[in-house]
Amino acid sequence: MFINWKLREINLKIVYYGPALSGKTTNLQYIHAKTNPNIRGELVSLKTRGDRTLYFDFLQLELGQIAGLKPRFNLYTVPGQSYYVGSRRLVLQGADGIVFVADSQRERFQANVEAVKDMAENLRSLGLNPESMPLVLQCNKQDLPNAVQPSVLQRRLGMTKVTCFPSVAIKGTGVFDTLKAIINLVVAQAQKKL
């Protein structure tokens, strides 16, 4: 969290993390499509020709003054493909909170596990404690027939204490609930620290 008292702005960096093709970019695309253009910036995507995230997607949201401060949320995604580990670490730098977008399909279970492990390692390498990082779990693709229950995913990923939302990001189900939850969590944690 970065507060500029001169401009009375409060900035939060939220990173959408998860395995390849779990729906991180889809979350940002839905948020971009549905929010009033007055409160959001351009959706910037650094992607390959095949529409896969190469580096990150970026979207800023800015609300009006709240208790004398103007909140600004900077949303990032990381590239999910395993060989972009370096890029994921760079994007995590300075993160205030993380949304872990899990792919609920049974056959993607191992990819979720590896992404959780990769996230913890990257946080530690940046000197951040994965245990104290505000985190929300989003179990995406719940509409697919091979999707496992969010409670099962939560347990198997070791996230039983983490706030969890079932989602179908492509239809917008759970997208804004997840966003609100991570923002509230980051702000609550920061206030507790101060």
Distances in Å between the Cα of 52 and the Cα atoms of 11, 20, 164 are: 27, 9, 26
Give the range of 5-13, 18-26, 140-148, 155-163 binding other proteins by CB under 8 A: 5-13
Nearer to other proteins, 91 or 137 (CB): 91
Asked if 137 and 55 touch (Cβ cutoff 8 Å), the reply is: no
Residues in 77-136 that interact with other proteins by CB under 8 A = 86-87, 90-91, 93-96, 128
**161 counts as binding other proteins under rule CB under 8 A:** no
Q: How far is the CB of 153 from other proteins (least distance, A)?
A: 24
One of 37, 68, 107, 110 touching other proteins (CB under 8 A):
68
Question: One-letter amino acid identity for 83?
Answer: Y
Give the range of 21-29, 31-39, 99-107, 111-119 binding other proteins by CB under 8 A: 31-39
Rounded distance between C-alpha atoms, residue 105 and residue 102, angstroms: 9
Rounded distance between C-alpha atoms, residue 15 and residue 10, angstroms: 17
**146 counts as binding other proteins under rule CB under 8 A:** no
Determine the straight-line distance between the first and last CA of the chain, rounded to whole angstroms: 11
Q: Which residue has the tokens 């995406």?
A: 140
Rounded distance between C-alpha atoms, residue 156 and residue 55, angstroms: 28
CB burial of residue 47 (10 Å; 0-12, 13-18, 19+): middle
Q: How far is the CB of 174 from other proteins (least distance, A)?
A: 11
Binding site for other proteins (CB under 8 A): 1-7, 10-11, 13, 34-36, 39, 41-42, 44, 46, 55-56, 58, 60, 63-64, 66-69, 71-72, 74, 76, 86-87, 90-91, 93-96, 128, 172, 175-176, 179-180, 183-184, 186-191, 193-194
